[in-house]
Structure 1
């Protein structure tokens, strides 16, 4: 990921065999070096502080309408992107 806002499609890592993604209740916690917001079918991840480079993580909890849920910790690094000339 870069040191600025990054969008990730929920469908790239989240699914439910019985419900649409839009039916799931998502919550985020323990955001370390970032903030996470949901915008439609995407997560928007913003480094904190802006342009931060290094490790980051957050917990996500997804619950379906039947009350079943799963929790995961997502970890990654914000890296500088080299500009080629």
Structure 2
């Protein structure tokens, strides 16, 4: 049995691939249930006039930002918008 590792670090096997293929080819079709809950992307609430803002961070600060966002189950961008809104 061959074991693989997905880009996100989750291991899977040939049996998983066969099961996913059978599910996709079945009457049920692809459900994506193995992917887990979706995460929001860019919010519509920022509007069409929103423009990107670039902030340069060293590796240590970026790691702290990513860790804080991960702890709150959100993206770094979402966390930064919330921080700005709290000012």
- TM-score, normalized by length of structure 1? 0.23
- TM-score, normalized by length of structure 2? 0.23
More helix by share: 2
